[in-house]
Every structure is written in C-alpha cells, then in structure tokens.
Structure 1
Amino acid sequence: MKVKSILVSCYIALCGLSFPAYVHAEENFVHEDVMQNLQEGDKIALLMVHFGTTHDDTRALTIDAINQKARAEFPQLDFREAYTSRIIMRRLAKRGVRKLNPVEALAQLKAEGYTHVIIQSTNIIDGIEMESLRKDIDQMRPLFKEIRLGMPLLYTPDDYKQVIDCLAEKSREKTFTILVGHGTYTPATAQYAMLDYMLQAEGHSDFAVGTVEGYPTFDNAVDRLQAQKKITQVQLVPFMFVAGDHAKNDIAVDMKEALEEKGYKVTPLMEGLGEQPAIQQIYIDHIRFILQHKQVDIVKKKKDYANAKD
C-alpha cells in the first residue's frame, strides 16, 4: 500500500482542507475522500469538461486558463479535457483541432487503465448541458470503480453569493450593468431569475440579469434599466464562461444597438466569466470538495427512509 500512502500524503500536503465548508449542502453529500480509497494499481484522473468555443482569443483566456489552474492545483490527478458542443467540435475538426466528447474521453481513460475519474464542467447553471453530461457519465460509469462529478458554477445559494461578490467589482459609477446569460428553454432558466433576485436582495439595484434564450429576457432587463430615470450609461457584461459568438454578436452588436437607439451610451465588456480568477477559484473549490465528498444516492436514501423505524 506504499503507493496509496504516498498519494494521500501528497494530496493532503498540496491541496489541504482549504475549501469552504459551505460549498454544498451537507444533506446531499457525505464525507468520503476518494484519495484514501485508492488501492495499489488504481489510477485517478481529472477530466475538465467545457462547452467549448471556436474563438481562439477567448479560449486562451478562459478554457486554457482554468485548465492550467486545475493542473497546478491538483498535480496528483492526471489531467484530461473534453468538449460537449458537437457543433464546435465539428468546426474545430475542419481546422485540424480534435476535441474529444465526454464519452470518448472516458473511453480513452478506461483504455489507459484509469479506475477513478473526477469530472468538473465549466457549465454556469445546472441545465441541459449538465443533464447531458450526467447521461454520458451514467453510460460509462460501469467501466470504472468510481466517477465523481463536481457541480456547475451556480449550485448552492453560497455559490450565487460568491459570484455576486465577484460581479459587483465590475460595477461602474452612474452606470447600469446588464448581465447577459445564454438562457435555456427548460425550468432551469429559473436559476438566472434567482441570480437577479439575489442581486437585488444584496443591494445591487444597478444590476439586472437578462438572457439570450430564456427568462429573464433582455427586455426584462431593459425595463429595469428604464426605471432608473437618471441613468444614461449602460454596461453589457456576458454572463457566460467564454466571450464567444453570443458575446461578440448578440451582445456587442444587437443588444448594444438596441440600447443606443433608446439614447443610452453603451459599453460592452467583452470578457468571459472564465477570465476572472475569483470565478475560476469557485470551480477549483468545487473540484476540491468533490474529491472529499460523495454525492448521496437519492434512491438509496429513500429506501433507507422506507426501512427505518419511527
């Protein structure tokens, strides 16, 4: 068991126990350090999963940046990467750049003898991309001793609070800031509304959240702006991990022009969330948490409840 002891010692020394205790609700997780469960011959990897982008400029500042940070933070985990957008992967392939999807990346890890995989996505909300990723993982889970999946940027109320604190630093005097998220057609769009609500509850009345394809809509955010009678300057901020097509077209062109037609002076901030060190750190904290905590199987939990004595 010498290999296991060395791995655990390195893990404790390099990672410590510095993650916030409130990262996730304790009811949904139990403390179980995956590093302490490794047996001789086991191999563990960290798989970072991104939606992806075809824009080299924003990829270098976001995806590549957090990949580098994850490698540095978790040297005891062999690093791998996957993309989930098949459209982006197809377009990159035409340029000679091949990215694996999650199933392909896991199949490769299995072929290389890995037994444990920690997966962390850079998704913003727990929406259809997370749902798709979980289905990919379930398909491959029987091939490994264990796969653990970290949570997206926004999961617990404390995640929202940390994100809001980070976004508040982007505020400008006498300027209204509209955060523009991608949005979704599923009930998961309520997570954007929660962010908007918490911004107001935290006293950030000069912020509003809108989305390209969900609720709150961009028009909802503009209504909030117009209620601020003395505001003439607007800052448009992508609430997206990368500043790609939506940022460069929908936000920097269409939304900017729509606001200018209403008489506002508009400044698009072409910066993806993934560029901000504080945002990157939330993802790193999620990885550190899932290394030491295992998510509760809700089906098993309900069976235990059914068999328990009152």
Structure 2
Amino acid sequence: MYLPVYAQSEGNFVHEDMLQNLQNGDKAALLMVHFGTTHDDTRAVTIDAINQKAKDEFPQLDFREAYTSRIIMRKLSKRGVRKLNPVEALAQLKAEGYTHVIVQSTNIIDGIEMESLRKDIDMMKPLFKEIRLGMPLLYSPEDYKQVIDCLKEKSKEKTFTILVGHGTYTPATAQYAMLDYMLQTEGYSDFAVGTVEGYPTFDNAIGKLKGQKKIKQVQLLPFMFVAGDHAKNDIAVDMKEVLEKEGYEVTALMEGLGEQPAIQQIYIDHIRFIIKHKQIDIVQKKINYANGKEL
C-alpha cells in the first residue's frame, strides 16, 4: 500500500503529475540508479529484484538502469559486463527520443552519492523537457519509521542487533545517528547503529551493547542495499572477530536491505510520489518570497 510522504509535501514539493502533462510525441522513462556490486549472488536478490519490481509497478514507463561506482563498473567490464553511468544512460535516453525521465536511486541516505547524482542530472537536464529525482531510502521521518518497522522483524529474543551502515565523511552521516536515535525513542533498546566509515562508529554500537549486561548474543546486520564487499569482509569477518574476542556469540546475517520486499516497497513509493509531485526550485521560491509571492 502506498504511504504518502507527508514531510516531502510540506514545503519541498507541489502536486504535479508528470505523466498527465505528456503531449503527443513525448516519451517517458524510469532510470533506476544503483551504486552497484560485483557479487552476482547479492545482485540477483537486491538490484535485479527491485528492477523487476519497478518494471512491474510502472509499465507506463520504459525501464533503464545505471551504476554509479566507477570501480565496480571497471571490474565488471573486465568480465564482459557493461553498465552505463547516469550521464551515459541519460544521453542514451535522449538519443532514443525520450523527453521525460524519472530517476530513482537505491541509495540509503542523502549523502555524497545523491549529491553526485544531482550534479549529473543538472548537467543533462537541458536535454529533456523534464527530469525528476526521487528520494533515497531515508528522507522523511516517516521513511525512518517504515524502515524501523522492517528492521524490528529481524530482532531475536535475548539478542542485541547491530545495524552496520557504510557511513560517510560528510555531515550526512548524521542520518545514521538519526536512525539510531529513533530506534531508541521507539523502544528498541536492543538495536544500535554503527558504520564502517562514519558516525556512529562500530565502537559506539559496542558501547551500547555493553550496557545490556545480560545479553551475550549479537547479530550483525548490513544496513546496506547489497551485501557485498563490506558485508562479507568488514562485517562477517573483522567486526564479528572483534565481538567474539569480547566473549559474545555472534551471527552475521549476510542479507542486503534490498532483499526485503518491504524495503523495496519504500523505494517504489518514492517513485510513485515523485511522478505525482514536483520538487520546488529553492532559488525560484526565494525570488517569489522577495516579490511577495508564495507558492
């Protein structure tokens, strides 16, 4: 069921159905953008799965895909697998006569990958009548609550769960801290969030674990769309060993967030929302305010 993203419709977006504005000769496409993975096993149950779900949910949009990790794309090319980056995919859509594009990434937070994607879109925007970008998994408070509802299904009795995100070196890492805070305020004190390369750190999560004196069992869950290199090496090996040396019985669940149908549905809802809502141009909004006008 589609859940409206209330926070998005309060000031940042206005209702405007893109598909209803199509004219004769216009063509619309959906471009799914993924960081990517070289691991075929996790790709099949995450990236391929949500791609198929998006195709099924939006048959009125022609489907395309792009990867953003140049390292992954280079490795795949050596195996004979070519993936387009967002600029290449948009250029191809233009060459094929598409006029309207919905872009939806499978990024978890609004961090540097989303920033890079926005720059790619801004560069290509003049070539189209309209391009709209959907939000990452975590954007509005309602998104966080829905994600927590999905995660709580993974909880086990007498077990502490550590969600391990990738993290970032920018202030966007605060989004992981927000998830950690909301887990606590929602009453899930047996959960903590840590990251590989950001804040909260893995040590921060261990600190919360040690506050649960009677718990000796821990499960590590990748808070990442795919369970790739970080999950199989940093989480399942390094982090697991650290906790075992502390005397805990540890299980590492090698499951990417993208495997969960409920998580996939949040992205689908974001696509549905951005089809029907246009993001307000903040520069134009300020100009309107200066002229005494409000949208």
Task: Give TM-score scaled by structure 1 length.
Answer: 0.93
Corresponding residue for 1:232? 216
- Contact (CA 8 Å) 2:7, 2:141: kept in 1 or not? no
Could you say if the C-alpha distance between residues 223 and 138 of structure 1 is closer, same or farther in structure 2, counting changes exceeding 3 Å?
A: same
* TM-aligned CA deviation for residue 22 of structure 1: 2.4
1:77-134 deviation digits (Å, cap 9, x = unpaired): 0000000000000000000000000000000000000000000000000000000000
**How far apart, in 1, do the equivalents of 2:125 and 2:278 lie?**
15
Give 5+ residue unaligned stretches, structure 1.
1-16
1:5-50 deviation digits (Å, cap 9, x = unpaired): xxxxxxxxxxxx9442526242100000001100000000000000
Partner AA of 1:113 in structure 2: G
Is the counterpart of residue 167 in structure 1 residue 151 in structure 2? yes
**How far apart, in 2, do the equivalents of 1:218 and 1:60 lie?**
28
Partner AA of 2:51 in structure 1: N
Partner AA of 1:29 in structure 2: F
Could you say if the C-alpha distance between residues 209 and 21 of structure 1 is closer, same or farther in structure 2, counting changes exceeding 3 Å?
A: closer
Corresponding residue for 2:41? 57
Could you say if the C-alpha distance between residues 118 and 173 of structure 1 is closer, same or farther in structure 2, counting changes exceeding 3 Å?
A: same
Corresponding residue for 1:38? 22
**How far apart, in 2, do the equivalents of 1:23 and 1:95 lie?**
43
- Contact (CA 8 Å) 1:23, 1:289: kept in 2 or not? no
Could you say if the C-alpha distance between residues 54 and 309 of structure 1 is closer, same or farther in structure 2, counting changes exceeding 3 Å?
A: closer
**How far apart, in 2, do the equivalents of 1:23 and 1:120 lie?**
18
**How far apart, in 2, do the equivalents of 1:200 and 1:123 lie?**
24
1:156-197 deviation digits (Å, cap 9, x = unpaired): 000000000100010000000000000000000000000000
Partner AA of 1:279 in structure 2: I
SS in 2 for 1:27: coil
Correspondences of 1:1-310 after superposition (within 5 Å) = 18-20=2-4, 22=6, 24-308=8-292
- Contact (CA 8 Å) 1:19, 1:288: kept in 2 or not? no
Moved over 3 A (4+): none
Amino-acid identity (%) = 84
- Contact (CA 8 Å) 1:19, 1:289: kept in 2 or not? no
* TM-aligned CA deviation for residue 155 of structure 1: 0.2
SS in 1 for 2:157: coil
SS in 2 for 1:229: coil
Give 5+ residue unaligned stretches, structure 2.
none
- Contact (CA 8 Å) 2:5, 2:140: kept in 1 or not? no
SS in 1 for 2:135: coil
Q: CA RMSD in A?
A: 1.2
**How far apart, in 2, do the equivalents of 1:243 and 1:63 lie?**
11
SS in 1 for 2:29: strand
- Contact (CA 8 Å) 1:23, 1:159: kept in 2 or not? no
1:273-308 deviation digits (Å, cap 9, x = unpaired): 000000000000000000000000000001111110
Partner AA of 2:142 in structure 1: D
Partner AA of 1:118 in structure 2: I
Task: Give TM-score scaled by structure 2 length.
Answer: 0.98
